[in-house]
Amino acid sequence: MRKPLVAALSALALAGLGAVPAGAATAVAAEPTASTAGKGVDTDTVTSVAHDAVTSTTANLSRVTAPKAQAVDFAGTVSLSNCSGSVVRMPDSEANDPALVMSNGHCLEGGFPEPGEVIVDQPSTRSFGLLNSAGTRVATLRANKIAYATMTDTDVSLYQLTSTYQQIQDSYDIQALELSAARPAAGTDISVVSGYWKRIYSCSVDGFAHRLREGAWTWKDSVRYTSACDTIGGTSGSPVVDDATGKVVAVNNTGNEDGARCTDNNPCEVDESGNITVREGINYGQQTYNIVPCVGLDNKIDLSRPGCTLPKP
C-alpha cells in the first residue's frame, strides 16, 4: 500500500543487488487504481514465483550487510505476489489445528476493506510461498478461507490454511511463528522479516502512536520503529519479531514517505489531546498481542471470547 514495487525493484538494482530479469519488474508493478496506504497491495498472481527467482540471492546479502547479527531468520515466513506474511500460531494452538497465515488487511486479494469493515470466514483460495531459514521457497501453501481481516483499529488479515501445523512441520521441517500474548515495550530489539524481499530489517521499538491516521483509516496503539527499519513497498504484512524471545509482536504495515500530513502513504500520529505529529521516513507496525484472546478451540476466530478487543462486523 505504499511505494510502487517497480520503484523498489529499481532501487535495489541501483543499490547493486543485480539486474532484474526481463518480465520480472512488469510482473509485480501493476497496482489497483484504488487509493493506497501502507507498504504493498497484493494482486495475488503466480508472479510471486517469478519474484522469488529475482530475490533469491538477496537473503544472504541482507544478512551480510545487516547492521547487527541476525538471531531471526526466514523460517515460517511467506511470500505473496507483492506483500509479505508468516505462518503463525497462538500460544495454545495445537499441532493438529489448521495453520494460520498472517498478513495485512490491505493485502487482501479483493482490495482494501473500507473503514469500519470487518471480514470473517470468507472463502479464499489464496496461495503463499513458504520459506525456510535461508529464505528459499520450499512449498506452496493454500488457504480455504479468510478467517479474519480488517483495516479498522489495526491492519491485519488471518488466512486459514488447508494444512495443519503438524503437516507443515512433517513435510518441510518448519515451525510456525508464535504470537506473543504480551504487549511489547519501548526499546525492544526487533526484526521485520520480509518474505517478499527475502530481507530482514533490524531496529528497536521507538515508541507507540496513540492513533495512527492515514487517509481514511485510523489504527490504534501502533508500534513506531527507530529509523534503522527503513522498510519499503512489499514489506507489508511482514512479522515483527522480538529478537530476545523469537515471538511475533506486530505486523508491519506503513510509513511516512515524504512528510505529508495524514494522507495516503503518509500517516500521522495523533495523541490523546488530538495533537498531530508527522515523522517523515519513519515506519510503523500494528500490535498483535490483542489477536491472541480472539482465537479459540481449533484455531477458530471467536470475537466473543473474554478479552477479545478486535473490531467486530
pLDDT at 23 over 80: no
> How far is CA 12 from each of CA 51, 58, 62, 109, 179, rounded to the nearest angstrom?
13, 10, 11, 26, 31
Strand partners of residue 137? 131
Instruction: Give me the residue label for grid cell 507483492.
Output: 82
pLDDT in tens, 285-312: 999 999 999 999 999 999 999 999 999 9
Residue 1: the pLDDT is 64
Residue 123: the pLDDT is 98
Residue 304: the pLDDT is 97
pLDDT in tens, 122-168: 999 999 999 999 999 999 999 999 999 999 999 999 999 999 999 99
pLDDT in tens, 182-235: 999 999 999 999 999 999 999 999 999 999 999 999 999 999 999 999 999 999
Nearest of 101, 95, 177, 178 to residue 140 by alpha carbon: 101
The rounded mean pLDDT for the chain is: 85
3-state DSSP assignment of residue 11: helix
